[in-house]
């Protein structure tokens, strides 16, 4: 048995998708504080916020670049990874965080609402994983996919989102099996109710109902999910692959 490893990302280069704000930004900042250099991805409309997040990371003394790309476009994803390799000198960690919601009850959900969520959340994760794995397969790496407890338990009005997040879990386990021999670990995080701009706008009665489903009695903070992502990407998790870690205050217990 080897010596215990620490949560240390010094010398590592990480790409975080959907990184301009929320969980993506919190994860990028947490990785920078653990020593990593960052490439922050988002869509063109989020260029300003992505660059502001990159500047925060630079203020910590870490290198950071923004790489704008639509994760649903295979050509853009391939170009994004190539740019990270050329600008940063490598790629050790991929955090597949980019995601959207287009909520509607099943009988009212449009084909477009279904397609948009599946394309961004699931296809985007697949495309980024495939592109990064081509490089990581040469020297090893770590991939962390952001799923959701909704992908484990379902949720009314989110057939598209639940399907996409459940798909990410299946993709995670398959990629973990395929890439293990290449030294690439693949894990997923399933956040529960996390404080965000969206949850801040919820009516008090809805918020209370949500809190009633959480044994710990509170919503999580983006930083609490980010801490698990840092762990999974680090040498401390060297023997962890193919796992789904719920960060949900006990909402979903297998």
Give me the DSSP letters along 135-181. HHTTT-EEEEEE--THHHH--TTBHHHHHHHHHHHHHHHHHHHHHGG
* Residues facing residue 13 across a β-bridge: 37
Catalytically annotated residue among 18, 80, 135, 161: 161
Helix axes 47-59, 22-33, angle to 10 degrees: 20
Q: Which helix (H) or strand (E) holds 96?
A: strand 93-96
Cα distance between residue 65 and residue 43, in whole Å: 14
Q: Catalytic site residue 161?
A: yes
Cα separations in angstroms, 10 against 63, 118, 207, 221, 246: 12, 34, 39, 25, 26
Cα distance between residue 192 and residue 214, in whole Å: 9
Q: Which long-range contacts (CB under 8 A, 24 or more apart) does 225-229 make?
A: 225/23, 225/26, 225/27, 225/146, 225/189, 225/191, 225/194, 226/23, 226/26, 226/27, 226/29, 226/30, 226/31, 227/30, 228/189, 229/27, 229/30, 229/31, 229/95, 229/144, 229/146, 229/189
The residues that are catalytic are 161
């Amino acid at each position: 048995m080897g010596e215990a490893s620490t949560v240390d990302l010094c010398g590592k280069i990480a790409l975080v998708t959907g990184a301009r704000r929320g969980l993506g930004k919190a994860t990028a900042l947490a990785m920078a504080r653990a020593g990593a250099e960052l490439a922050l991805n988002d869509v063109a409309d989020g260029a300003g916020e992505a660059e502001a997040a990159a500047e925060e990371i630079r203020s910590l003394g870490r290198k950071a670049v923004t790489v704008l790309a639509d994760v649903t476009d295979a050509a853009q994803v391939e170009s994004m990874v190539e740019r990270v390799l050329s600008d940063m000198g490598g790629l050790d960690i991929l955090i597949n965080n980019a995601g959207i919601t287009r909520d509607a009850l099943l009988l009212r959900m449009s084909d477009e609402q279904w397609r948009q969520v599946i394309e961004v959340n699931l296809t985007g994760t697949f495309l980024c994983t495939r592109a990064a794995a081509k490089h990581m397969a040469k020297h090893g790496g770590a991939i962390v996919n952001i799923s959701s407890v909704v992908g484990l338990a379902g949720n009314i009005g989110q057939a598209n989102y639940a399907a996409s997040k459940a798909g990410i879990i299946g993709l995670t386990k398959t990629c973990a099996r395929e890439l293990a021999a290449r030294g690439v670990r693949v894990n997923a995080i399933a956040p529960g109710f996390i404080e965000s701009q969206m949850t801040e706008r919820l009516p008090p009665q809805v918020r209370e109902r949500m809190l009633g489903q959480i044994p710990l009695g509170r919503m999580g903070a983006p930083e609490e999910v980010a801490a698990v992502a840092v762990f999974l990407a680090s040498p401390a998790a060297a023997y962890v692959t193919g796992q789904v870690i719920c960060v949900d205050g006990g909402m979903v217990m297998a």
